[in-house]
Structure 1
Amino acid sequence: MAKQRVWKNYLVAALSSSVMMLSATTAFADSTELSLDDSIAMALQNNPSIKMAVKDQEKAGYGIDQAKAGKMPSLSLGTSGTHGDTTAGQVGDSFSTSLKLSMPLYTGGKLESTIDQAKINAESAQQGVVKAQEELRLDAANAYYTVLQSQNLVQVNEETVTSLEEHLKTVQAQYEVGTVAKADVLRSEVELANAKQNLTKAKNNYDVAVSSLNNIIGAPLATEHVYKDSLQYAPYDTSLDDSIAMALAKRPEIIQSQYNIAASKAGVEIAKSGNRPTVSMSGSQGWSGSDFPGDNKNWSVGVAANWNVFDSGLTNAQVKGAQAALDKAEEQDAQTRSSIELEVRQNYSSMQEAKERIDTSQVAVNKAEEDLSIAKVKYGAGAGTNLDVIDAQVALTQAKTNYTQALYDYNVNKAKVIKAVALQAGN
């Protein structure tokens, strides 16, 4: 019996260890490490916006095939049959069948310009993919930094609650010995309750931020991660003038704008083709008779030329309309360039402003920590008031919040500058 109990104990221990290992493995699987680069890579792979942009690019590629098909020969087969009275007054059948081949030789440049326009649109669609990638990089970075910010604010509020709990113990101890009034205890309890409410809000904001990030990167919304990066200052070394120059040279919107101008120029050529002659070649083989497909054969080969001498001003109106579209595309290009320069300047300025706030808010945190420490010592010695401690604690919490906000603003605006400058375009 003793041996059986020993073996049962071993079995229970082994099963318990297995359960613990399985639980640890499951917890690790549910909580994966995630860096900023990981987030961006997952977003680029999983987010629907990229897939939609790629489909637009594929559609534009098929547009080239459609345009090229206009220059290729076409073959058509047609047949008809009738049953009724013939010219001889008898009832009979009559069949007619034809096989026709046709091919354009010259269209006044219309087909060539249409093909050029389709190619330009395909190149523009490619830049649309790059644009979608850059926007998604920024969205993923913003979401990741928001998680880090929310995480830091949870920590700040937890520290505040812990500090106020310790202070409340001190106040209660002094109240019990009669050295402070009941009002000090009540005020400390109120401040602690408020701090706990702020902590609850901070935790909720963190949960929302995590879900938002998971939505962007294509992970289940409830997925928990261990975030490898932290909010910190990393300098951006490119000057404002160089950043603007890079943006005007590399931004996909600029490249798309140039493609729009080229496509509009091709549209002008397409419209002008209406004033030019067209030449086509055709050949046909026909059969006719009372038996299908017909005993009588005929064939023809020909070249036809056509020149629309007068069309009541239709072509002229089309040319003017195409030219107006070209003028609009050029104005849009100028507007796009101006908007991009403004975007770079605004984001760069906001980044520099946040950079300065990082330094000042860090100093404020150090001063507030020292002030709180002094206030607590004075209160414990009976030389300070409860209000001094509470005010010092509020100031420290605000200073830490400001420091976290400054780091967040810097990193987000830096990410906006990188997107505005298109430093990662095409990667």
Structure 2
Amino acid sequence: MKKHFAFSSIFLLAISSLASNAAQALNLFEAYELALRNDPVYRSASKDYEAGMENNPIGRSAVLPKLTASYNQNANRATQWGAQYTGGPNIAYNWNYPSNYSYVQVVQPIFSLDAFARWRQGIAQADLSQSKFIFNTQDLLLRVLQAYTDVLFSLDQLQFQTAERDAFYEQYKAAKSLNKNGEASVTDMLEAEAAYQVADAKLVDAKDAVENAKRKLDSMLGEPMESASKLSKLSGNFQFINLPTTRFEDWKDKALASNAELKAATSNVEIAKQEYRKNHGAHYPVVNLIGAFSTQTSNTVTSINQTFNQTYVGVQLNMPLYSGGEVNARTNQAYSNYEKAQADFEVTRDKLITELRKQYDLVVSGKQKVQALSSAQESATQLVKAMRKSVSAGDKINVDVLLAEKGLFNTRRDLAQTKYNYLIAYLRLCQLGGSLDGDDFQKVAAYFK
């Protein structure tokens, strides 16, 4: 785990060196730095990891010696009845004396299937905790990017809804003017007014969406942003990421070898297997090597002021005979859970390959979609320019320009969302492939300036 903490420290230093002051926009690096310190999900995962790693020494302790010691200090009062001589009268003797007893014992398992299974299970439980922490560390990168782009997209959506509302408002004003001059019916005017009112209501929803996305990001950062508009936007120069390999089979091999979730499922299988062995081991004897030393002073009224020391070394054999069927039942139960863990592993593996293929396709097709929408944006931009020239020439009216601008904003919104999805799919592809690290995140963060 030391290497994971080292990665975090190095990454934090890199982020700190690039941090901007509070007056500037919050970039993706800074958002991650804040989430690394304050995100409650990640902090919980860190403590869960620390607790889980203790399973290793806990399991190892089952095969190591156990040393125990005890000490007793007592004040004794005793009454002894007896004759001083044969046939004489009984006489009571009262005794008041202190006594003490100390004991030290060491037990070393020699043969114990239960102890050996606990040892191996502790290793598997620690491995599970490490795999879960690696997944949660990678997941934080994805969650920050997702929440960050959700805010940006909500702003894009707000801009689009504003343009749509303005366009419908101009349509309504034009219809109202035409109706006043007798060139349009009341129905046309009412339809235009209804469209404007609906667009205005959608604008309210878009504003709420911005606030909701901002609050979600705020909860991860641990402190509220002054405004959603303070986030650094996606840069205009969008370059596609060069994948380390373009073959899906290569990604599949990497995922099967390194994916954190699959490693966690493998550890779960091993944990269930050792749980079965623990319970099955209750059928077998346990052999321990035992050594002890004891000392006692004035242990009885017949040994007042006498001290006895005793040392012994021996072998202890415990043989289970009958437990009312509990051992068989627990063994059968543990074996069923072991078979369940094996089936769960296969489910996780199949889901991994399916999701890996999905993210791989999203990265490949995302590049094509970005290129297509970029061309569509150029065409929409030229259309807006042409409409403005037509208005100047008297061939078109302002409503035509606004409708063209609405189409342009719509295309820009779709293009931005496609770019966000492309970057998220890239990180998810790396995560599923088991290779997501700070370098991959830096590649994505460079797009937001």
What TM-score, normalized by structure 1, do the two folds share?
A: 0.75
Given residue 204 of structure 1, which amino acid in structure 2 is its aligned partner? D
Out of 273, 288, 311, the residue aligned to residue 322 of structure 2 is 311
Give the conservation status (yes or no) of the 8 Å contact 2:32–2:141. yes
2:259 maps to 251
Aligned counterpart in structure 2 of residue 400 of structure 1, from 409, 412, 428: 412
Provide the aligned length of Structure 1 versus Structure 2.
398
CA gap 1:426/1:386 in 2 versus in 1, 3 angstroms? closer
In structure 2, relative to structure 1, the CA distance for the partners of 1:353 and 1:179 (3 Å cut) is farther
Q: What residue identity is the alignment partner of 1:299?
A: N
Match of 1:234 among 240, 246, 249: 240
1:49 match: 41
| Partner Cα separation in structure 2 for residue 345 and residue 61 of structure 1 | 33
Q: Residue 105 of structure 1: which of 88, 97, 108 is its match?
A: 108
Correspondence list, 1:58-207, <5 A: 58-70=50-62, 71-72=64-65, 73-83=67-77, 85-88=79-82, 89-93=92-96, 96-109=99-112, 110-158=114-162, 197-207=201-211
CA deviation string 1:303-325 (max 9, x = no partner): 14214162356555555544444
- Residue 285 of structure 1 and its aligned partner are, at CA, apart by 1.7
How far did 1:133 drift? 0.9
For 2:118 and 2:363, how far apart are their aligned partners in 1?
46
TM-score w.r.t. length of structure 2: 0.72
Which string of whole-angstrom CA distances, capped at 9 and with x for unpartnered residues, describes residues 271-305 of structure 1?
A: 454313412313222223579x9623223333142
Once residues 167 and 211 of structure 1 are traced to their aligned partners in structure 2, the CA distance between those partners, rounded to angstroms, is 35
Q: Which amino acid aligns with 1:213?
A: L
Deviations 1:18-39 (A, max 9, x none): xxxxxxxxxx965443322332
- Correspondence for 1:336 among 348, 351, 355: 348
2:288 to 279, 301, 313: 279
One of 342, 346, 350 as aligned partner of 2:358: 346
Distance of 2:182 and 2:374 partners within structure 1: 36
The aligned amino acid for 1:77 is: Y
Partners of 1:63 and 1:219 lie apart in 2 by 35
Tell me the CA shift for residue 260 of structure 1: 2.7
Alignment gaps of 5+ in structure 1: 1-27
Cα pair distance change 1:267/1:161, threshold 3 Å = closer
Rounded Cα–Cα distance in structure 2 between residues aligned with 1:67 and 1:294: 46
Shift of 1:386: 8.1
Q: Distance in 1 between matches of 2:320 and 2:163?
A: 87
Aligned partners of 2:170 and 2:398 also within 8 Å? no
The offset of 1:342, in angstroms, is 1.4
Contact 1:149-1:404 within 8 A present in 2 as well: yes
Between the aligned residues of both structures, percent identity stands at 18
Which residue matches 1:10? none
Q: Does the residue aligned with 2:298 lie in a helix, a strand or coil?
A: strand
What is the Cα deviation at residue 41 of structure 1?
A: 3.1
* Alignment match, 1:297: 307
Match of residue 411 from structure 1: 423
Whether the aligned pair in 2 keeps the contact of 1:130 and 1:425 (CA below 8 Å) is no
Paired with 2:412 and 2:424, the residues of 1 have a C-alpha distance of 18
Find the residue that maps to 1:247 and give its secondary structure.
helix
Q: Which amino acid aligns with 1:362?
A: S
Separation (CA, whole Å) in 1 of partners of 2:317 and 2:227: 68
Separation in 2, partners of 1:189, 1:307:
90
Q: 1:361 aligns with which of 365, 370, 373?
A: 373
Distance across 1 between alignment mates of 2:184 and 2:327 = 95
In the alignment, which residue of structure 2 is the partner of 1:36?
A: 28
Match of 1:12 in 2: none
AA in 2 matched with 1:419: Q
Shift of 1:352: 4.0
Query: In structure 1, how many angstroms separate the alpha carbons of the residues matched to 2:185 and 2:111?
Result: 98
Unaligned runs of 5+ in 2: 1-19, 83-91, 440-449
The aligned counterpart of 1:23 is none
Residues 160, 40 of structure 1: alpha-carbon distance in 2 compared, 3 angstrom cutoff: same
CA RMSD across the alignment: 4.2
2:25 aligned counterpart, secondary structure: strand
- Residue identity in the other structure for 1:106: P
